[in-house]
Structure 1
Amino acid sequence: MGNRQSNALYDIALDVEVLNGKADACKKSNGHLASIHTEDINKYVNGVALHYNSNAYRSWLGGYRPENSHDFYWIDGSKWDYQRWGLTENWKKSNRDSCVQMNHRKKGVWEVAFCSESRSYVCKL
């Protein structure tokens, strides 16, 4: 299901996959896991996910942190210039590799989780 915001098309995949499968599925559509650069786009992606699945809980975005790093990166190589961490998110204290998920039940705040966990995901085409 594709929806356009700015010059990008965002596709919310309701199927559930782990990180490598998600990235491959997005690439097959000539895209990447979504990078988000503004509050408006964050709200838009969260709203689209809830529109298509009112029970949506969490979806993977394209953010990740390599092991033993405190910096996050976007899988598409774009600049990390926006973030929407939840007030209680404890991402600074962990040295594990982490991927970024959007929590739809908490108004689109971001959380970290093990990249091997299964989630729905958002592609930016």
Structure 2
Amino acid sequence: MPDHVDVNDVPYTPSRRGVGEEYLVREDDLRVKLTRFKAGDDIPLHRHTDPKHEKLIVRGNVTFTDSDGTVTTLGEGAMYMCGSGATYYHGKVNEDTIILVIESRSSLIEYPPEGESSAKG
């Protein structure tokens, strides 16, 4: 790959979560990846095990709803941390969006137990 490339031009592959696409930028002690979503995508209710799971919205915007009902809409340039909390959250993608994700290589995504009630906005 050249020294520079537009985030739209990297070879994305379907996400294992079943929504969106991913491109692994690098993986050593940290995993750095781009995730791309289409307007209208629903990011399922989940949480992260990494105590410092950082995300930067490169393009677009997403509305996140925590399991406690807190609603936050974040757009281009917003950086947020969503790691190692007891709070699950889900997202509604408002427009085509690309997010840069920085996490430890050991980070896992956890979904709520089957049948547990969830906030859906």
Do they fold alike, i.e. is TM over 0.5?
Answer: no
TM-score of the pair, normalised by structure 1: 0.30
Structure richer in helix, relative to its length: 1
**TM-score normalised to the size of structure 2?**
0.31
Whose Rg is larger?
Answer: 2
